[in-house]
Amino acid sequence: MLTIRTKQIILISAVVLLVAFLFTRDIKGLVKAKEETTAAPAAGPMQAEAAEINIDQVSTVGKNLVGSAVAKDITTLENEFKTADGNKKFSLAASLAKKWDAVDQPVPSALYLEMVAQQEKTLDSWLAAGEKLMKAFDNSRDTTLLQPLLQKANASYSAAVALDSTNLEAKTGLGITIVNGMGMPMQGIAMLMDVVKKDPKNLKANMSLGIFAIKSGQFDKAIARFNDIIAIKASPDAYFYLATAYESLGKNKEAIDAYLQSKKLAGNLTLSKFIDRKVAELQEKI
């Protein structure tokens, strides 16, 4: 029988590694060392005020991560943006958002999309900004950016809901920001549950509910949720979360099977090596 302390250690380690996998699978390396990963804020209300993000600073960081030719093109667009006004300025903001997105730099891309949304004030623009801001929040390893990014995402989705309270994408995004810290978690859970009630196959809402179940130690609920998700659409991250939940309950055989399915679907060498080590550890416990 696993002790509560052992379960906590397993859960924290697995979730940290999974977060690193999900956040970096399209860039470099699917599994990062624990000390290299920035944890997201614990669920619960955040402070009302958040420091503003300096677009020039995040741009400088981003340019150091992309090729010199791309960085030069972006600098040219940014200089035009700074001197432009009216519709031209927001047209350039949209171009910069696309340019940053093309090189997988979600923070500057999100900030420019937010500017576009603030100008257009349409449902689609708020949804686009909210989605990119959440991606930036998920990917950022700079702890000083997490709170303002989450607040900006919350504001974008709130604006979208205000325009169309029946829009499930807007409600899902808003619920996710609340669960992550922009209010009382159960308020966000209720919103996500309402989305799933209306759209049982909504993957984003179901994934968020499954992840929250793991974070809150409700592993049986997480297993049921991720099995439902896999029945809708199998994915390496859904199997990995399922394996995490099984492992946390000491169901090592089931965890091994789920880890191997994650490995098979991901087809990534780095993740494969991690899962091979994990499977070997679990086999020793059977």
pLDDT digits (tens, 9 = 90+) for 223-279: 999 999 999 999 999 999 999 999 999 999 999 999 999 999 998 888 899 999 999
Predicted pLDDT at 52: 84
Q: Which residues are CB-neighbours of 179 under 8 A, at least 6 positions away?
A: 43, 185, 188, 189, 192, 208, 212
CA dist list (Å): 254 to 172, 180, 281: 30, 29, 14
Check if the beta carbon of residue 136 is closer than 8 Å to that of residue 106: yes
**Ordered alpha helix ranges (H), the chain:** 4-24, 55-63, 68-83, 86-102, 106-120, 123-139, 143-163, 168-179, 185-198, 203-215, 219-232, 236-248, 252-266, 269-285
Work out the number of other CB atoms within 10 angstroms of the CB of residue 277: 11
Rounded to 10 degrees, the C-alpha dihedral 9/15/17/19 comes to -160
Domain boundaries, the chain: 1-41+200-286, 45-183
Predicted pLDDT at 36: 36
The C-alpha angle 72, 73, 78, rounded to 5 degrees, equals 95
Domains 1-41+200-286 and 45-183 share a fold: yes
| The model's pTM | 0.81
Mean pLDDT of 131-151: 94
First-to-last alpha carbon distance for the chain, in angstroms, is: 12
Burial class (CB in 10 A: 0-12, 13-18, 19+), 193: middle
Confidence of residue 286 (pLDDT cuts 50, 70, 90): confident
Burial class (CB in 10 A: 0-12, 13-18, 19+), 272: middle
d(CA 156, CA 24): 25
Predicted pLDDT at 18: 52
Assigned CATH for 45-183: 1.25.40.10
User: Is the pLDDT at 179 greater than 70, yes or no?
Assistant: yes
Mean pLDDT of 149-161: 97
Lowest mean pLDDT among 48-52, 68-72, 167-171: 48-52
183: left (phi over 0), alpha (psi -120 to 50) or beta: left
Dihedral of CA 88/73/125/137: which sign?
Answer: negative
Radius of gyration of the chain (CA): 20
Assigned CATH for 1-41+200-286: 1.25.40.10
Q: Which residue has the higher pLDDT, 18 or 98?
A: 98
Confidence of residue 35 (pLDDT cuts 50, 70, 90): very low
In 3-state terms, what secondary structure has residue 227?
helix
Predicted pLDDT at 21: 45
What would the two tokens of residue 10 be? 């397993």
- Mean pLDDT, all residues of the chain: 86
Confidence of residue 48 (pLDDT cuts 50, 70, 90): very low
What would the two tokens of residue 158 be? 């709130």
